[in-house]
Amino acid sequence: MAEDVNSREIYEFLKTRIGARFRTWLQICSHCGLCANTCHYYIANGNEPGMIPSYKVRHLLEILKRKGRVDRKYLETVYHTVYHECNMCRRCTLYCPFGIDIALMISLLRSMLFSQGIAPEGLVKAIENYKKFGNQMAVTEEDWVDTIEWCEEEMAEELLGLKIPIDKKGARIMYTVNAREPMFYPQDIMEVAKIFHVAGEDWTVPRKEGWDDTNLAMFCGDLKTARLIVENTFKRAEELEVEKIAITE
């Protein structure tokens, strides 16, 4: 975590990003508490009032009120709230009479923390990998292609004619995976190859970066890297002139 806190930067960061939507949400939330019982953190922690979704975003209002003049200790409290007490699942929004998007505000707070160099180690490591290798697990292009070819060989023994086409131009579907698959779960790739083969699907996987459909940068508010990840995928899809992109989920 960063050693110092830049108040002006924090204030500027939030001010330029708080549009009409955020301002309305912050103003109309009447703290009615309907969101309390919708949150799995609140219920699982014995109806702990501190875990009520509308209360979790108090930090946003507080930081704006103080014009960014908060200390490092305060930011650590914010970190605890936005990472350890919220999955940004958006269930509370469905029950809110105003449809206030708490998760989006949590996400904004995560972005603000990231701008101050505060983010979970696990996610920061993944971001470095995305930037360097185009995927969260630091799989090289060579290893990726090797894994695909190995999966193809294995499965072709079970199903005659099975192929995992790499960079096939004009295929109907470009298939992307979670980078954990080539690392830990190659059986996922084999299973999908089997299903596509039996269904007679016209599909392909890209050789170059863009095949990892996870976006962990998004979760810690690193929108620049989050954008890069998505752009990689779309770039591949355009080059390959596919009709659709399918993700592993």
Partner 1 sequence: MELFHDYIRDGKIRLREKFKEPTTVQDPCNVVRSGGLADKNRRLAEFLSEDFRPMKYQGNYNFCCGGGGGAMPMGGEMRKYRLRCGKIKAEQIRDTGAKIVFVPCHNCIDQLRDLSKEYDLGIRAIHFKEAITELMEIPQEMIPEED
Q: Which residues bind partner 1 (CB under 8 A)?
A: 40-41, 43-45, 83-91, 94, 103, 120-123, 126, 136, 157-162, 173, 178, 180-181, 185, 187-188, 191-192, 194-195, 197-201, 214, 216, 219-220, 246, 248-249
Q: Which is nearer to partner 1, 11 or 216 (CB)?
A: 216
Q: Which is nearer to partner 1, 57 or 68 (CB)?
A: 57
Q: Which residues contact residue 18 at a Cβ distance below 8 angstroms, ignoring those fewer than 6 apart?
A: 64, 108
Q: Count how many Cα atoms sit within 13 Å of the Cα of residue 104 in the half-sphere of its side chain.
A: 12
Q: Which is nearer to partner 1, 116 or 178 (CB)?
A: 178
Q: Which is nearer to partner 1, 11 or 110 (CB)?
A: 110
Distances (CA, A) of 167 to 118, 213, 223: 38, 16, 28
Among the residues of 86-215, which ranges form H helices? 91-95, 102-115, 121-133, 141-156, 180-183, 186-199
Min separation Cβ 247 and partner 1, Å = 9
Min separation Cβ 195 and partner 1, Å = 6
Of the candidates 145, 139, 130, 111, the one whose C-alpha atom is nearest the C-alpha of residue 229 is 130
Contacts for 152-157: CB closer than 8 Å, 24+ residues apart? 152/193, 154/190, 155/190, 155/193, 155/194, 155/197
Give the SS3 label for residue 192: helix
Q: Which is nearer to partner 1, 18 or 173 (CB)?
A: 173
Min separation Cβ 110 and partner 1, Å = 9
Min separation Cβ 204 and partner 1, Å = 14
Min separation Cβ 58 and partner 1, Å = 19
Q: Cα(112)–Cα(11) distance, rounded to whole angstroms?
A: 9
